[in-house]
């Protein structure tokens, strides 16, 4: 699918439009929705979707590469808590590039399984994802192998010819201790059409600004804010496992849970190597539709 | 490759239908007691630092509405599979065991783990739970 839309505005126009769209959606969706406190953009922790709840998230990313054109990627995420230990999610990806076209780039289907049911010092989660995207995808949900900002220099018309049917696996390790969350992800990705396994990592650290809740409802207060930082990057391939020639990022993050249940997130990611984009600005709006599974069951009873 | 995608869709639908099946009745307090009984004795001896503090109970009420009421009802009377929390069992259980259960959940039976909440907030919820009647 290719839409005939050309970038005509200033550098931040698409980012602004996406952010406004997400904010509009957060207001337009009824208050029966509750948010999930999910601070990270790239890293996963061991928190699963609550059983029977449906999560809808909009996550635009605006990229300022060093040599390529400014772009904006948008991911719409629909997640469902099938069981307490199993979350399944569908991602729909699209992008727009300055002076180029806007594209729907494909979808991903992700499943996360928590093998140990209790809470431990380190909680493992197994992640399995099927990816069906074209080469123009710029959502940057993870960085693997030798992913480089230089790849984004080609026009969308060229990039979209490449098909990416991939299997992505992650080992997620995560711990909660004294209000802190520490999460480490080890990523292995394989193009089903051929090619070597590619590896990557993501590490996240976050904490609410206040540990105890206040007795009164409040909006802009420390207990509703969570701050942290993410590190992520590529680790080469099975044939060449290395840091050399790979891209890496450091990204401080802030999430704000509104009393209405909406969570807003923001994270500027700074490129650390020559292969990295100069800056990745990520935004996120998350809603949770409570008891979606229960409502569906009633509908079909 | 189309075949693979259709297989994935079919498998996901089968798994989701299996996951959403099953009887939906509120759990009895005996079952809840059995689950709380799994808490180690070391958890039972930990004291609630907010015990009896009115502000902590109010904060716990706020947190309960935000995180727990969706399943247990606004007054803790239980909905679907989630049990009635006004049972004497809740008042009579050691606060440390309740905190342990909130932290661990019972993922197999649909009770999420609330380990993402700091201990301070778990204790505030426990303070509120033990006022429910």
Q: Using one digit for the tens of pLDDT, what is the confidence trace for A115-131? A: 998 899 999 999 999 99
% of chain A beyond a pLDDT of 70: 87
Tokens for B70, please give them: 């969706």
Residue scoring higher pLDDT (A215 or A1): A215
**Could you tell me the end-to-end alpha-carbon distance of chain B, in angstroms, rounded to an integer?**
58
% of chain A beyond a pLDDT of 90: 70
Q: Please tell me the distance in Å from A119's CA to the nearest CA on chain B.
A: 5
Of residues A50, A40, A37, A120, the one with CA closest to residue A84: A50
Q: Which of residues 15-74 of B touch A (CB under 8 A)?
A: 15-16, 19-20, 24, 54-56, 58-60, 62-63, 66, 70
Q: What is the DSSP-derived secondary structure letter of residue B22?
A: S
Structure confidence by residue, pLDDT tens digits, A203-239: 999 999 999 999 999 999 999 999 999 999 999 999 9
Q: Please tell me the distance in Å from B48's CA to the nearest CA on chain A.
A: 13
What pLDDT is stored for residue A29 in this prediction? 47
Structure confidence by residue, pLDDT tens digits, A150-174: 889 899 999 999 999 999 999 999 9
Does the beta-carbon distance from A212 to B80 stay under 8 Å?
no
For residue B118, list chain A residues with Cβ-Cβ distance below 8 A. Answer: 178-179, 208, 211-212
What pLDDT is stored for residue A277 in this prediction? 96
DSSP characters for A163-178?
Answer: EEEEEEEEEEEEEEET
Q: Please tell me the distance in Å from B116's CA to the nearest CA on chain A.
A: 7
What pLDDT is stored for residue B18 in this prediction? 54
Mean pLDDT for the stretch of residues A10-24: 45
What pLDDT is stored for residue A31 in this prediction? 41
What pLDDT is stored for residue A240 in this prediction? 95
Of residues A250, A268, A246, the one with CA closest to residue A198: A246
Structure confidence by residue, pLDDT tens digits, B67-78: 899 889 988 888
What pLDDT is stored for residue A233 in this prediction? 97
Of residues B66, B7, B81, the one with CA closest to residue A218: B66
Cβ-nearest to A83 among B1, B19, B59: B19
Q: How confident is the model at residue B13 (pLDDT cuts 50, 70, 90)?
A: low
Of residues A131, A139, A132, the one with CA closest to residue A111: A131
CA distances from A286 to B64, B107, B123, B133 (A): 20, 23, 27, 35
Distance CA A233, CA A246 (A): 7
Residue scoring higher pLDDT (B85 or A288): B85
Task: Give residues with Cβ within 8 angstroms of A17, minimum separation 6.
Answer: none
The 10 Å Cβ neighbour count of residue B79 is 18
Tokens for B103, please give them: 């932290």
Residue A175 has pLDDT above 50, yes or no: yes
Q: Does A297 touch chain B (CB under 8 A)?
A: yes
Residue A62 has pLDDT above 70, yes or no: yes
Does the beta-carbon distance from A132 to B5 stay under 8 Å?
yes
**Could you tell me the end-to-end alpha-carbon distance of chain A, in angstroms, rounded to an integer?**
37
Q: Does A216 touch chain B (CB under 8 A)?
A: yes
Cβ-nearest to A179 among B103, B118, B124: B118
């Amino acid at each position: 699918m290719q839409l005939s839309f050309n970038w005509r505005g200033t550098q931040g126009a698409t980012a602004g439009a996406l952010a406004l769209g997400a904010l509009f959606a957060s207001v337009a969706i009824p208050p029966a929705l509750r948010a999930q406190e999910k601070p990270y953009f790239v890293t996963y922790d061991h928190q699963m979707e609550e059983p029977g709840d449906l999560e809808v998230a909009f996550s635009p990313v605006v990229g300022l590469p060093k040599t390529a054109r400014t772009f904006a990627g948008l991911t719409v995420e629909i997640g469902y808590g099938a069981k307490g230990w199993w979350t399944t999610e569908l991602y729909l990806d699209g992008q727009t590039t300055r002076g180029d076209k806007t594209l729907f780039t494909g979808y991903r289907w992700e499943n996360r399984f928590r093998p140990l049911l209790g809470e431990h010092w380190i909680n493992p989660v197994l992640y399995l994802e099927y990816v069906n995207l074209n080469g123009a995808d710029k959502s940057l949900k993870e960085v693997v192998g030798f992913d480089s900002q230089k790849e984004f220099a080609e026009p969308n018309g060229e990039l979209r010819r490449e098909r990416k049917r991939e299997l992505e696996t992650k080992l997620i390790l995560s711990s909660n201790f004294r209000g802190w969350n520490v999460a480490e992800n080890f990523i292995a990705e394989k193009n089903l059409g051929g090619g070597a396994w590619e590896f990557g990592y993501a590490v996240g650290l976050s904490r609410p600004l206040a540990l105890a809740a206040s007795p009164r409802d409040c909006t802009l207060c420390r207990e509703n804010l969570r701050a942290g930082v993410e590190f992520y990057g590529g680790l080469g391939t099975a044939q060449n496992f290395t840091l050399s020639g790979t891209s890496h990022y450091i990204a401080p993050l802030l999430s704000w849970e509104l009393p209405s249940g909406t969570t807003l997130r923001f994270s500027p990611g700074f490129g650390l190597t020559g292969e990295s984009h100069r800056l990745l600005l990520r935004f996120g709006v998350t809603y949770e539709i409570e008891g979606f599974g229960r409502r569906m069951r009633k509908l079909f009873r | 490759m189309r075949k693979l995608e259709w297989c994935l869709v079919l498998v996901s639908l089968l798994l989701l239908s299996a996951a959403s099946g099953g009887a939906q009745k509120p759990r009895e307090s005996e079952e809840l007691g059995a689950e709380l009984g799994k808490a180690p004795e070391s958890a039972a001896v930990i004291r609630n630092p907010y015990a009896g503090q009115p502000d902590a109970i109010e904060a716990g009420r706020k947190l309960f509405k935000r995180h727990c009421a969706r399943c247990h009802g606004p007054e803790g009377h239980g909905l679907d599979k989630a049990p009635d929390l006004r049972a004497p069992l809740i008042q009579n259980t050691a606060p440390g065991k309740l905190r342990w259960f909130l932290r661990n959940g019972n993922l197999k039976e649909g009770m999420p783990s609330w380990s993402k909440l700091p201990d301070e907030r778990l204790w505030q919820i426990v303070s509120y739970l033990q006022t429910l009647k």
